[in-house]
């Protein structure tokens, strides 16, 4: 890389000098929810495995899920899933080259947040109604 033209290019300034913007926070949250879902999926598979394992094993896992802490984890899991899925849809739209102007990009970010909260609530209402 001795004579590379890359060497002279300016480095991008450090993140901390920026005022937090909505689209920037959405990008960060997309990554955090993705990482959370990574471990959430292990939880789901653990639940499936407990069903396959035995009644006593299932009772332990179900006891955790049924507790207030378990429900809180599950609520966070649901919201992260919906938020990440909607964020993914935005990324797929951007992949087609659309939705990049400032008005649309801001609108998409707000719609993503609103829809993720509304859909999470609807899923939980449906779950409690199904019981």
Partner 1 sequence: MSMRTPLGKVRGLGSAKSGTGHFWHQRMTAIANIPLLIFLVGFCVSMAGADRAGIVDAVSNPLVALMLVFTIISVTWHMRLGMQVIIEDYVHGEGSKLICLLGNTFFSLAVALTGLFAVLKISFGG
Interface residues with partner 1 (CB under 8 A) are: 2-6, 31, 34-35, 37-38, 41-42, 44-46, 48-49, 51-52, 55, 58, 78, 81, 85, 88-89, 91-92, 95, 123, 126-128, 130-131
Q: How far is the CB of 110 from partner 1 (least distance, A)?
A: 21
Which of residues 24 and 88 has its CB atom nearest to partner 1 in the complex? 88
Query: Scanning the structure block, which residue is given the tokens 């396959």?
Result: 52
Q: How far is the CB of 43 from partner 1 (least distance, A)?
A: 10
The DSSP 8-state label assigned to residue 13 in this structure reads: P
Cβ atoms of 77 and 38 closer than 8 Å: no
Q: How far is the CB of 103 from partner 1 (least distance, A)?
A: 25
Q: How many residues does the chain have?
A: 131
Q: How far is the CB of 102 from partner 1 (least distance, A)?
A: 25
Cβ atoms of 18 and 62 closer than 8 Å: no
From the list 42, 113, 41, 107, the residue with the least C-alpha distance to 79 is 113
Cβ atoms of 66 and 58 closer than 8 Å: no
CA-based torsion, 62, 68, 70, 72: positive or negative: positive
Which of residues 25 and 46 has its CB atom nearest to partner 1 in the complex? 46
Which of residues 5 and 20 has its CB atom nearest to partner 1 in the complex? 5
Which of residues 109 and 120 has its CB atom nearest to partner 1 in the complex? 120
């Amino acid at each position: 890389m001795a004579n590379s033209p890359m060497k002279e290019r300016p480095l991008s300034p450090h993140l901390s000098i920026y005022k937090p913007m909505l689209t920037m926070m959405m990008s960060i949250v997309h990554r955090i929810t993705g990482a959370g879902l990574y471990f959430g999926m292990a939880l789901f598979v653990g639940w499936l495995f407990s069903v396959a394992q035995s009644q006593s094993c299932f009772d332990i896992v179900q006891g955790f899920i049924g507790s207030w802490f378990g429900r809180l984890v599950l609520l966070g899991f649901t919201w992260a899933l919906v938020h990440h899925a909607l964020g993914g849809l935005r990324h797929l739209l951007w992949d087609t080259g659309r939705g990049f102007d400032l008005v649309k990009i801001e609108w998409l970010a707000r719609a993503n947040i609103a829809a993720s909260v509304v859909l999470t609530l609807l899923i939980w209402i449906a779950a409690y109604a199904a019981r």
